[in-house]
Amino acid sequence: MKKISILGATGSIGTQTLEVIDYLEEEISVTAVTANNSVDLLAQQAQEFDVDYAVIMNQDHQEKLESLLAGTQTKVLSGLEGILKVATLTNIDLVINSLVGSIGVRPTLAAIRAGNDVGLANKETLVTAGQLVMSEADAHDVSILPVDSEHNAIFQALEGNQRKDVERIILTASGGPFRETSAEKLEEVTVDEALDHPNWDMGGKITIDSATLMNKGLEVIEAKWLFDLKFDDIDVVVHSQSIVHSLVEYEDHSTLAELGMPDMKVPIQYVLTYPERKSNELEALDLAQIGELTFEEPRTNSFPCLEYAYQAGKAGGTMPAVLNAANEVAVAKFLQGDLKFVQIPEIIAEVIEEHQVINKPELEDILQADKWAREIAEKVGDQCC
C-alpha cells in the first residue's frame, strides 16, 4: 500500500485527491493532511481517512483542531514547521504538494532531501526555484511527478521515447472566460466574471491566472525545468475545449497528444498510481459528441502576462520569483476589488522592470527577491488605484 502526505488537502486539488483515494482506498493510505485556515474541513478529512498527522498552517487554529480531533489517534501540528514535518516523514512514499503560493517551495525541497517522491501541483516551486529543485531531485534520485493536466499530458506523451528526439512541446490553454472579449470590455470585467471559468473548477487565484494567461506563462517556466527544455522549444496554443491537454512534437514531426475530458482527477490518479494505471468511473472521452477541436494563437496584446513569463524565464535567476510574487499581489488586490483586471499585468510589468537579477541564486536569495517584489507590488498597486 502506498502511503502519502497531502499538503493543501482542503483546496481544490487536495479535495479531489482525497476523492480519488477514496475510490482507490485499497491502494493508497493517507498519512497526513494539511490546511491553511479550513480547520473544520481538515478535521473532517483527518477523521475520515484516519490520518496520523493533521497540520494547520495558521497557528491560531491549533487549539480548535486539537479539540475537534480529541479522542482520535491523529497528532495535531501547526505552522510551517508542521508542514515540513509531514513532508519529510520516513514512512511515506509520496508527498502531494498542492499548496498555493511560494510557501510551497520549502516543503518540496524538504521532501526531496528526505528522499520522498513529490506529486507537484504547486506551480511556484519550479517557477521560483526550478534549477535548485531539479538539481536536488537529481542528487537524491527523487521523482517529480506533475499533477497539472498540461504537464501531466507532456509527461505521458514522453513515456517510451527519448528526450533527445523532442523538437518542441505545445502547452494548450483554454483561453479562460475572456478569450473573445475585446480589449475595451476587459477594462470593465468584474471579479465574478473573471472567476467564471468555462471548463475547469479551480481555486480563485489559479482561475484569475487562467483569465490573464499568467497561468500558462507559469506553466511554461515549469515545463522548462520539468522536461529540461529551452524556452524557444515551448509553445502555447489556445484550445477552448480543453480536450487536448498538451502535445509533444518529435524531430520526425510526429506529434503525440494526451486527450481526455477536462477533469483534474485523471492526472491526479495517474500521479497516485504511477507507474501503473487503474480503472475508474470518470467520464470517458466521446470525440463524436465533442464534434470539433479548435486551436488559435494566444492574444498576447490583450493578455501580456504570457509574454512577461517568457521574458522572466529567459532572464532567469531571481526574475521568475519576482514575476510570481508580483502576480500574487496583483491578483489578491483584484480579488479584493482594489484593482481593475487590466491593471494586473501593469503592476507585474513595473515590478519586473525594476528588478536587478541575481544569477544562480540560493534559496535565501529567492526568498529575498520574493519579499522585495511583494513590497514593490504593494506600493505600485496602492499608487495606481
Q: Which residues are annotated as a binding site for 1-deoxy-D-xylulose 5-phosphate?
A: 123, 149-150, 174, 197, 210, 215-216, 219
Grid coordinates representing 104 are 510551497
- Strand ranges (E), 58-217: 75-78, 94-97, 117-120, 144-146, 166-173
CA distances in angstroms from 210 to 61, 129, 194, 204, 253, listed in the order given: 31, 22, 9, 10, 29
Whole-angstrom Cα distance, residue 156 to residue 164? 16
Residues facing 253 on adjacent strands: none
**Whose CA is closest to 170, among 251, 242, 252, 256?**
256
Q: Are 305 and 210 in contact (CB under 8 A)?
A: no
Binding residues for NADPH: 10-13, 122, 124, 203
Count other C-beta atoms under 10 Å from residue 269's C-beta. 25
Question: Cα(319)–Cα(300) distance, rounded to whole angstroms?
Answer: 20
Q: Tell me, rounded to whole angstroms, the distance of Cα 218 from its chain centroid.
A: 9
3-state secondary structure of 203: coil
Cis ω on the peptide bond leading into residue 177 (within 30° of 0)?
no
Binding residues for Mn(2+): 148, 150, 219
* Beta-bridge partners for 144: 118
Indicate the length of the chain as a whole number: 385
Give the integer Cα–Cα distance in Å for 12 and 147. 12
Binding-site sequence positions: 10-13, 122-124, 148-150, 174, 197, 203, 210, 215-216, 219
Q: What is the CA radius of gyration of the chain?
A: 20
Helix H or strand E segment including 306: helix 305-315
Nearest residue to 109 (alpha-carbon basis) of 129, 79, 89:
129
In angstroms, rounded to a whole number, what is the distance separating the alpha carbons of residues 76 and 73?
10
